[in-house]
Every structure is written in C-alpha cells, then in structure tokens.
Structure 1
Amino acid sequence: MQYLLLGPTEARDDSHAPLPIGGARLRALLASLALRAGAPLAVTVADLVDEVWGDDPPRDAPAALQALVSRLRRALGARDRVLADPTGGYRLAAAPEDVDLHRFTRLARDGARQLDDPATPPAIAAATLRSALALWRGPALADLPEPARSALAAAPEALRTAARRGRVEAELRAGAADPASLLPELDALIHEHPYDEPLRVLQLRTLRAAGRPADALAAYERTRRTFA
C-alpha cells in the first residue's frame, strides 16, 4: 500500500490503483494516521479528534472516531491496516517509506547533503531534489481541517521551499545549459518569500549566468529597497 499526503489524500494498492476513500473526514483520518506512519507511539484519540473534526467535534467523539476507523478499515480492504493500540489511540500499519511525505523528506535531506558535499557532483544533487519535488501534487495534508493543517503542514512546506531553492542552486552549479530557464521558478519563490535573502542572492547569480548583468543590477536594487 502507498499513502499520498502531498496533495489530496489517497491510498493506492500494490498495482498503484487508488482506493475509494470517500468523505472529507475519512480522508482526514487517513492523513492524520499516515503522517505518523512508523512512529513509536500510537496517535491519541484526542489528537485524531482534533485533526479530523477541527473546531466542531461530535458530542461522543471517541465513539464517532471508532465508527470512522471501522469505515477506514473497510475502505483499505483489511482490518489490520488500522490497529488499535492497547494504551489507547490508533496506528496505521505502514512504514515511513509507504508515505509520500516521508519519502519526500528523506530525498530532500539527501539532496541537501549532496549539495553541501564537495565530492558529490551537483548534477546528482539536482536529480535527487527533482525526484523529491516530483512527489508533490498540491498542498501538503490538504484534507486536514484548519488549524491542524497549517500547523502540521508548516514543516513539509518549508522543506519544499528549501528543496526548490536547492534544486535551482544545484542546476546552476552543474552548468545549466539555459540558466534563464531557472528564473521563472525563482521569481515565483521570491513572490512567495520576498524576504528570503538566499533566494535573492540566487536570483542575482542566475541573472549573471544568463548573461543579463543589467537585469541583475536592477534586481539588486529592488532587493535593496525591499530589505530597507
């Protein structure tokens, strides 16, 4: 089984066919459990209720959660895919590598280490980071209600920004055939994160590599005004 959290929540069987996980709360429950796949402790009932129902929990939340867990087991095709913990709470019977968010985290960190390692060609780091970013299909944990989604998605979203910056850096160091092709993504990232100084520096270097010194000077002046 594969579980996808980097976009709409999905579960896919061994043939990569999606399973019918219908209903917003059912998808939220799966997302909450898959987020902790491989964790040593089960997800508590209180955390699951908060992350599934948000600010509008049912009157008998533990019973409602138990019914939702039963529905999820049926949707996944086996009772033993969602386990009740003796100490309370539930866990998904899955390894971290079964979840796209955890694969992304591993690949993004591998790519960052490769980029920092002088012995590793930057093209290898670029390929690793491209593989990591290709796992994204939309906002992380898209099916969790607020405010849980914003709180739990903050770390993967920040790592995604770092991976996008690192991929551009790696491709620039690898001698990108067309440095100008990297500029639209840099412009988008700067629009999202206008006070990210490393992004601004990377934009200037890319403009210079693209043979556009006048545009680099203009971008420098915009950066100076922005930070001032």
Structure 2
Amino acid sequence: MEDSVRFELLGPLRAYRGRQELELGPARQQAVLATLLLAANHAVPASEIVDQVWGDEPPANGANVVQKYIAGLRRVLEPDRLPRAAGQLLTLTPAGYQLSVAPGGSDLDVFTAHVGEARRLRALGCRAEATAELRTGLGLWRSEPLAGLTGGYFDATRAQLAGDRAAALEEWAELELEQGREQALLPELSRLIAEYPRRQRLRAVHLLALYRTGRQADALTSYQQALQLVGGRPSPELEAAYRQILQNDRPPPAPVVDAEPVLTHYWPEPASAPLGWKGWTLKVAAGLLPSATMGIAAAPLIGGLAIRRRSWKLGLAALGYLVSSIVFFTIADKRVDTEDFVLIDAVAMTGLLLSTVLAGLQAAWLVPARTTGTAQPRVMVDLNSAPEQVLRTLPGIPPMHAVLIIAERNARGPFRSLEDAVARGMFPSPVPRQIADVVLVIPVQDAPKEERR
C-alpha cells in the first residue's frame, strides 16, 4: 500500500511511508523503535525495553520514559491517529508494546526470505536461481546494521546479524565455485577473507578457488594462516579442502558445467530365456486350475499374483473373480423352478464361465514370472575410480562431500566395499537408497603403498 510504513535495519535505522523518509527523533527513541522492530509482531514489556535500551544505567522512572518515547513514535508512524485513539501500528497489549509489521515490511525480513528461498532452490539443484536470490538478499545490506545505536543488546544483535550475513556469503561463494566461476570469484573472496578471517567455511572456498586456478602454493599459505587463527583446529570443510590440495597426482580439476558422468558401469537386466518343459508345464497347470475347480481357485490364484507383483490392477481382477463365484453359488443354492429364476441362473452361469476362462488365460500369461526380454542398462558409478566431477553429479552427494570422498580414497587407499565406505565415514548406515542405487565399489587388487602413490 502507498501509505504503509517500511523499515530498514541493515544499516542506520530508517523508516519510510511510500517514498518519504520519516524523522524518527532522538537516539533513545530510535533505540526503542529498534527494540520493537527486532521483536516485530510480538509484545515487549516496558521493563524489557528499558533493559535493552539503557542497559546498566536505567532511568529513574523507566516505564514513564518508555511511554514518552512510544507516544513520540506514534506521532511519527501514525500521524493521522486521533488523540487518545488506540494505535493501529504501535499498540499496547497486556503483555507489553507491540509493533505490527507486514510480511516484507523490513529489509531484514526481505533478506531472510531471499536466503530461505536460495537454500530451497539449492536443495533442488537450481544453482543459478539460488545464486541470484542470495545476491538480491545481500544487496540489501547498506552498512553495519543498526549503525549508531549503542549498548550491549545492540552490539550482540549486530554480531548475530553479521553472522547471518557471513553464512549467506559462504553459501553464495560455494554456489559460484560449483558453477566454475573461481577466477572471477577470487578478488571478492580475498576481500571477504579479510573481513571474516575466522570463517573456516569461507576459507575453504578460498583454498579451492586458489587451487583450481593453479595457485596451489597460495592455497597452502592461506590454509596455514587459517590454522594460526583457529588454534590449529580446522573445520571438516577446511580439512577436506586442504586434503584435496595435497593430491599431487593430478592437476587441479577444470570447471565442469552440466557434464554427463563419464565413468560408469552398465549392468544389463537379464534377457528372457526359453521356458523349457518345466516352464510350459507350470504355465499349462496355472491356466487349467481355474476351470478344474469351477472358478473357485481363480480369485486366490490371481490374488496371490497381485500380492507378488504388487499390482493393484491384478488385485481388482481377483476381487472380480471372487464376486462372480459368490454370485453363482448363491443363486445355485436357491434355485426356483420358474422362468424368471432360470434366466437369472443362466446369466450367473455365463458370468462364472467367462471369469473362469479369463482367469485361466491371465494366469497362463503371468506364470512363470518372465523377464522383459530387452536389456535395460542401469548406470552405476564406481566409488574407487570416479573423479570428483562425476561424484558431484550424483544424487545425495553434495559437492563438498565429493571432495571428502576423493581425499579419503587418496589418503587411505581404495574402498574394499560399500560397507567399508560406511565404516570410513563416507556414508551413513544404512546407505540412503538414492546413493545405493547409483554407487558401487569394485575392489582394487591390493598393491604396495609405493604403487598406490
């Protein structure tokens, strides 16, 4: 709406009605507004406002002072409110003062929404769209959040918001790296490393960007600098990046965009084989069984096949055969020598004969179980030979985890089995279905350590 009020916290505190910036008054009044904004749409007791705005130096009559600043904010935010009329935007509830802010009514809300959408898109594999969302959200930051407001509460809030921004920057950098833009990313990464020297996830991206642009020595230097800052305790992301850099048996991997897996193994499904005399005997027996039992065996036979094949269509057919048998035998037990009932009996007999014949044909077709007759290759990737570019394309394996798999394989040798990969911490137990369906382990002949190097 044109007259709605929107707020900006990601920099000096500001408020706008349409395009007009509002005059928010003295610093204490702005601090009261900031406190209410950070708890938007929730009531804040006057005592809590005093603690957060004045800290260890509260005014003598804190509740009255807060009330004075609330009145000043109402004049600014709701200039058309009649005297003594209840506020619509800034209200007093039994639990305290509450500032009502519509969804997207503050730049902090908008930033949070963009980051959440970016994470959702990244989980779906939409890297370009996720990157755009993060860029938009990060573009809302004008300077230090709530700049100019002093006190322990606002210092802690600024630190928390700075952490949120740093996490968004880390995700943005990882997405840029995943899309092969490490060369263009490096200048911004160097600036961010200087701004957030202790953020190990960001440092890991920096290491990999240096490594993939041929600057392996600079990457190792950056790693040593990070170790000094964190007391020699690297995070899993930083350690995985370092272990990849130590792989001197191949050059840094080139960017791969929309690449198809290049190292796969095809396991064809078995083609159909001749039935043989046993198969034909079983087929004939299944086809004659419904007729030999006057339709009684039709429903159990087709029902069993439905359960075995997990087919709801076969289940419906079995139900139909069961209903046909019940109807016929119910009428047969109550024969009446009149023309009407003779006609009904004939119809029931015809229905039973048809269902018996259909059940026999269906059973003969389905028994014995047959293969498709055409080989359908199933693509599997060998964990011992697949390069990082291929592992990154597999479902359930994030890019940084692909790095860890390669590092583990080079450091401790090939995997002996999928269970061995689980024991070495590569996958959870049990292995998720989406991974087990595409990954296999072809054991490598034991070789001396010198050869493995």
TM-score interval for Structure 1 and Structure 2 normalised by the shorter chain: 0.7 to 0.9
* Partner Cα separation in structure 2 for residue 221 and residue 70 of structure 1: 56
* Partner Cα separation in structure 2 for residue 220 and residue 60 of structure 1: 55
CA spacing shift, 1:7–1:140, aligned 2, 3 Å: same
How far does residue 162 in structure 1 lie from its aligned partner after superposition? 0.5
Q: Which amino acid aligns with 1:13?
A: R
Q: Which amino acid aligns with 1:44?
A: P
CA spacing shift, 1:17–1:190, aligned 2, 3 Å: same
More helix by share: 1
* Partner Cα separation in structure 2 for residue 190 and residue 44 of structure 1: 40
The equivalent of 1:5 in structure 2 is: 9
- The list of structure 1 runs, each at least 4 consecutive aligned residues, that deviate by more than 6 angstroms after superposition, is none
Equivalent positions of 1:18-33 (< 5 A) are 18-33=21-36
How far does residue 88 in structure 1 lie from its aligned partner after superposition? 4.0
The equivalent of 2:133 in structure 1 is: 128
Q: Which amino acid aligns with 1:81?
A: L
Normalised TM-score (structure 2): 0.45
The structure 2 residue matched to 1:191, chosen from 172, 191, 194, is 194
How far does residue 66 in structure 1 lie from its aligned partner after superposition? 0.7
CA spacing shift, 1:184–1:22, aligned 2, 3 Å: farther
How far does residue 168 in structure 1 lie from its aligned partner after superposition? 1.3
Q: Which amino acid aligns with 1:125?
A: A
**Post-superposition CA distance 1:10-65 (Å, at most 9, x none):** 11112x321111211121111111111133xx111111112222332221111111
Structure 2 contact 54–151 (Cα < 8 Å) conserved: no
The equivalent of 1:91 in structure 2 is: 98
Normalised TM-score (structure 1): 0.86
* Partner Cα separation in structure 2 for residue 185 and residue 64 of structure 1: 46
How far does residue 122 in structure 1 lie from its aligned partner after superposition? 1.3
**Post-superposition CA distance 1:138-178 (Å, at most 9, x none):** 222334431011223333221100001111111221232xx
Uncovered stretches (5+) of structure 2, i.e. residues with no partner: 80-86, 233-453
* Partner Cα separation in structure 1 for residue 58 and residue 153 of structure 2: 13
**Post-superposition CA distance 1:69-98 (Å, at most 9, x none):** 11111111344321111x142111212421
CA spacing shift, 1:120–1:38, aligned 2, 3 Å: farther
Q: CA RMSD in A?
A: 2.1
Q: Percent identity?
A: 37
Q: Which amino acid aligns with 1:73?
A: R
* Partner Cα separation in structure 1 for residue 161 and residue 115 of structure 2: 10
* Partner Cα separation in structure 1 for residue 34 and residue 58 of structure 2: 17
The equivalent of 1:103 in structure 2 is: 110
Bigger Rg, structure 1 or 2? 2
1:97 aligned counterpart, secondary structure? coil
* Partner Cα separation in structure 2 for residue 26 and residue 155 of structure 1: 23
Between 4-13 and 48-57, report the one with greater CA deviation.
48-57
Uncovered stretches (5+) of structure 1, i.e. residues with no partner: none
CA spacing shift, 1:112–1:155, aligned 2, 3 Å: farther
Greater relative contact order (CA < 8 Å, ≥ 6 in sequence): 1
Structure 1 contact 108–128 (Cα < 8 Å) conserved: yes
